[in-house]
């Protein structure tokens, strides 16, 4: 193999640039040429492919976002679109790919490999931390720290005004950000898609805080909770509980931005470097992850189909220390 390509796809995550840097530097160390594919699968189809050198990735390890941009691609969901992408890779002499992204990225990579045989290794880049085959994904640690910083500030104003705040964080299908940020910020209630928490249970918990004369309460809501988003849940709670003045804060895409934490930079560097080494070892159609601090490779099919379970002792911790 003489040349590989690297691209980012799906939602951006802090640390993607650190991963790109590691891919490029490791490939060059092993005398491989590297091409950067702009805007993911969409750029692959429209021939937005550039050569990358060591200086191309200088001074990016600390930057959020992705220098290679990212985009959704409906065209790549068709065979004709994937054929165009393959032809462009052939034109540029690209023999293997490193795909940095999440579930949708790896679904596309699996189909692409099965149709055209291009060796692809995925690096898990998503703030949701929802991919099976790795303990943590690139961007998760930064997103949690961003959420905790915001919640700490909200707590200050909540205490000043005796308020109840409902804070919505990202997590359409999983509650990792909500759970970790809730523990770290001392939230009274954490609502996630993986567990059922009724409105009556929320009110029972808030009443306990009222009896202890708490001056404020924070409820963290993952956007995909079964009771609805923070606005819906806040309105339901207000109908039965009015001890505090109630406010809602939706953090939204704030969680995707910002400089990656040291943990995310190190994780991204390990994964990017391991992906290149995996390609050189003839691994393909797999995601590289870190489990118990060890590099592991998991088939795309398992990453896509298997659900990553929430740790039970973290759920219990909320109850113990609220």
Q: Quick one: tokens of 246?
A: 């109630």
**CA 273/CA 36 separation, integer angstroms:** 15
- Per-residue pLDDT at 49: 98
Give the confidence band of 210 by pLDDT, cuts at 50, 70, 90: confident
Give the confidence band of 175 by pLDDT, cuts at 50, 70, 90: very high
Give the confidence band of 319 by pLDDT, cuts at 50, 70, 90: confident
Query: Given CA atoms 210, 175, 139, 12 in this order, what sign does their dihedral have?
Result: negative
Give the confidence band of 54 by pLDDT, cuts at 50, 70, 90: very high
Could you say which of 12, 51, 87, 128 is catalytic?
128
- Could you list the residue range(s) of the whole structural domain that residue 193 is in? 141-257
- Per-residue pLDDT at 244: 86
Residues 40 and 173 both lie in one domain: no
Give the confidence band of 119 by pLDDT, cuts at 50, 70, 90: very high
Residues 164 and 238 both lie in one domain: yes
- Per-residue pLDDT at 321: 81
Residues 300 and 151 both lie in one domain: no
Q: Is residue 316 part of a domain?
A: no
pTM for the structure as a whole: 0.96
Nearest alpha-carbon partner for 88 in 130, 60, 58, 116: 116
- Per-residue pLDDT at 216: 87
Q: Is residue 321 part of a domain?
A: no
Number of independent structural domains in the chain:
2
Q: Quick one: tokens of 104?
A: 């949708």
Helix (H, G, I), strand (E, B) or coil at 158: helix
Residues 241 and 281 both lie in one domain: no
Residues 146 and 291 both lie in one domain: no
Residues 161 and 281 both lie in one domain: no
Residues 126 and 7 both lie in one domain: yes
Q: What is the CATH classification number for the domain harbouring 222?
A: 3.40.50.460
Q: What is the CATH classification number for the domain harbouring 90?
A: 3.40.50.450
Q: Is 128 a catalytic residue?
A: yes
Check whether 209 has a pLDDT greater than 90.
no
Give the confidence band of 318 by pLDDT, cuts at 50, 70, 90: confident
């Amino acid at each position: 193999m003489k040349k590989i390509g690297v691209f980012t796809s799906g939602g951006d995550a802090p640390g993607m640039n650190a991963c790109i840097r590691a891919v490029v530097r490791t490939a060059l160390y092993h005398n491989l040429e590297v091409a950067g594919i702009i805007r993911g699968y969409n750029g692959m189809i429209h021939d937005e492919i550039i050569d990358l050198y060591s200086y191309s990735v200088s001074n990016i390890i600390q930057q959020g976002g992705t220098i290679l941009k990212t985009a959704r691609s409906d065209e790549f969901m068709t065979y004709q679109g994937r054929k165009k992408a393959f032809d462009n890779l052939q034109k540029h002499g690209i023999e293997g790919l490193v795909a940095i992204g999440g579930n949708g990225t790896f679904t596309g990579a699996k189909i692409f490999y099965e149709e055209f045989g291009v060796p692809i290794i995925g690096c898990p880049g998503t703030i949701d931390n929802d991919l099976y085959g790795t303990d943590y994904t690139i961007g998760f640690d930064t997103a949690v720290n961003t959420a905790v910083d915001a919640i700490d500030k909200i707590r200050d104003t909540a205490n000043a005004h005796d308020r109840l705040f409902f804070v919505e964080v990202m997590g359409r299908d999983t509650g990792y950000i909500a759970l970790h940020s809730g523990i770290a910020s001392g939230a009274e209630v954490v609502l996630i898609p993986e567990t059922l928490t009724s409105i009556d249970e929320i009110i029972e918990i808030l009443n306990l805080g009222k009896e202890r004369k708490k001056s404020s309460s924070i409820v963290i809501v993952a956007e995909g909770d079964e009771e609805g988003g923070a606005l819906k849940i806040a309105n339901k709670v207000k109908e039965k509980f009015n001890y505090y003045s109630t406010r809602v804060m939706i953090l939204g895409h704030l969680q995707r931005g910002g400089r990656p934490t040291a943990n995310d930079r190190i994780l991204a560097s390990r994964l990017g470097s391991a992906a290149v080494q995996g390609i050189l070892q003839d691994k393909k159609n797999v995601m590289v992850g870190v489990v118990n601090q060890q590099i592991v490779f998991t088939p795309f099919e398992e990453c896509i189909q298997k659900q990553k379970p929430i740790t039970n002792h973290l759920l219990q911790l909320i109850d113990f220390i609220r």
